[in-house]
Amino acid sequence: MKLYYAPGSCARASHIALREAGAEFDLALVDFTRAEQRSEAYRAINPKGRVPALETDRGLLTETPAILAWIAQSYPDAGLAPLNDPFQFARLQSFNAYLCSTVHVAHAHSRRGERWADDQAAIDEMKRKAPEVMDSCFRLMETDMVTGPWVMGEAYSVADPYLFTITQWLPAHGLTSTSYPTIHALVQRMLERPAVQDAISAEAG
């Protein structure tokens, strides 16, 4: 297996989950500083031009919630999802879908406005508004979604590395996780986990 990643990107969630699962995999750096994600060579691997992408023996997987669910299902002994409870599994997917489709997209409005507009004024306006939208997403997760101590309650799951990864982006918006106490405590617990420490140091090179 090979995980295509960029340091500190959303690929970190899949990276941590692979380590939690005890999977054997190689890391392949996609260097954003050289725009490698848009290179012909990388697009031949992942036409989306994004990370993460996970090369498996059955083909390429993209989209973080899909990769996380696949890891949890492929390594059931690691206990990374409520695999025997369809309702709880759907709740986990619901949380990860929110991170993917709403929170991550809110974040991208501050850095990748050119995806949605050509007009510089519109791009600037998206950038200006992004911290407000990120804050409202985090307030909603804090009050209505994250049970604590982990996202799903007592059981650690693949939702935790995903939330951890996106929470690391708050300072880019002038925000801090301390404003969301349950999420902040979860981040502190994540930082104590060997899989998280190993992933961070591997990404640092």
Ligand X SMILES: N[C@@H](CCC(=O)N[C@@H](CS)C(=O)NCC(=O)O)C(=O)O
Enumerate binding residues for ligand X (CB under 6 A).
9-10, 37, 49-52, 63-64, 100, 104, 112
Task: Work out how close the CB of 10 gets to ligand X at its nearest, in angstroms, rounded to a whole number.
Answer: 4
Which amino acid belongs to residue 142? E
Nearer to ligand X, 102 or 153 (CB): 102
Q: Least separation, in Å, of the C-beta of 2 and ligand X?
A: 16
Residue 54, by phi and psi: left (phi above 0), alpha (psi -120 to 50) or beta? beta
Distances (CA, A) of 68 to 15, 118, 153, 182, 205: 10, 33, 18, 22, 23
For ligand X, the closer of residues 104 and 127 by Cβ is: 104
DSSP secondary structure letters along 16-36: HHHHHHT---EEEE--GGGTG
Q: What is the number of the residue whose Cβ is closest to ligand X?
A: 50
Minimum Å distance from CB 77 to ligand X?
Answer: 25
Q: Provide the minimum distance between the beta carbon of 102 and ligand X in the complex, in angstroms, as a whole number.
A: 11
Our CB check for ligand X shows the closer of 49 and 148 to be 49
Range 86-95 contact pairs with CB under 8 angstroms and sequence separation of 24 or more: 88/152, 91/152, 92/151, 92/152, 92/157, 92/158, 92/159, 93/65, 93/69, 95/145, 95/151, 95/152, 95/159, 95/163
Write down the least CB distance from residue 186 to ligand X, Å.
20
Q: Which is nearer to ligand X, 34 or 58 (CB)?
A: 34
Q: Which is nearer to ligand X, 11 or 195 (CB)?
A: 11
CB of 60 closer than 8 Å to CB of 45 = yes
